[in-house]
Structure 1
Amino acid sequence: MARVLLAALALASGAPAGHAQEPARPTPRWDFIAFEVKGWGEPISSWRLTGKGGGSWTETRKDEGEPLGSYTLVWHEIEEDAQLFIALENILAKLPEPAPDPNECANFMPDLAYGTIRLTKGATTTEIAWNSGCMDEDYRAFMAMLKRADMLVSEAGRKGSVLREEHFPQG
């Protein structure tokens, strides 16, 4: 009897008997996610992804001896990959709300990387500023999640083809 019901359900759904349908992809929590890393006012890296998992990753290239304020940005394509976006959302879903404030840090080391992550859904963007100079235990845990997200997307970006390069001479 159970086999008859399974076969009937499979026929009604259009799936071949004995084969389960692929699970539907969950609706993304965000439509767009952007992340940037800076140091001493200069970009270090950044990335942006749409809800379909495609976007770009940008790295800063600096030739030896170039003065502060002079660098080249190299944009790499990240091809659409729904699994990449799901993995990214799974990491970011663990971020505390509200995010810890680096201005309330008890153990702060200046001159380390800082930046923002922007999470967009429709017309609303949540922007979280971060500063890796905060060495408080709870803040280090927060930074570990951001680093995991950055490593995940940066790895995909490094594999992508170069879209363009733009040189920024000393300002």
Structure 2
Amino acid sequence: MRTKAQAQKVSDLTGGKVLLDDGKPTRKVALAGDFEQYRDALESVSVLFGLCDDTGEKAPTGWTVTGASFELEWPKDPKSASLIRSHFGARRVAYNWALAKVKSDMEAKKRDASCPSTPWTLEALRKQWNQEKDEVAPWWATNSKECYASGIADLVQALSNWSSSKHGSRKGKKVGFPKFKSKRKDQNRVRFT
């Protein structure tokens, strides 16, 4: 639940048990049985997920949701935690590789305008990644391919934001050219389609 008070309210309505951490109540409630039997009680306390369009606006009645975002509890098992960190790192590697590719293409274009370059699309950069991944990241198979795809997609979006900002078609403050992601500063995230 979003708050400890909501967790307690759900516990009272469902007969579930508020989970404790070091003897203190958390925002988590353990429920016995099928989730559907508790749905009405849960939704009376908190909407579990808001249905929104791509801009974050509430989706009108009748729309179909094609995706949802979830925040997962961090595993206590070191092996599982390491695997998740590996997926975050894989996304960052693909992002940085794609940015390096774009920058090297731009430099080559400056020297020779006839030099071919990879288009700034997810499809083109993923195809190029698949051709080079054995050399760039020989360990690539230990992670989901979606990690790499989400890193490249993040760069494509960043390049689009920069380009539209540069040409004045993007509202708001100016957006700079994308920068390489560091392990310390990058937000740990990954998407799976």
User: TM-score by structure 2 length?
Assistant: 0.22
Larger relative contact order, structure 1 or 2 (CA cutoff 8 Å, min sep 6): 1
Higher helix share: 2
User: TM-score by structure 1 length?
Assistant: 0.24
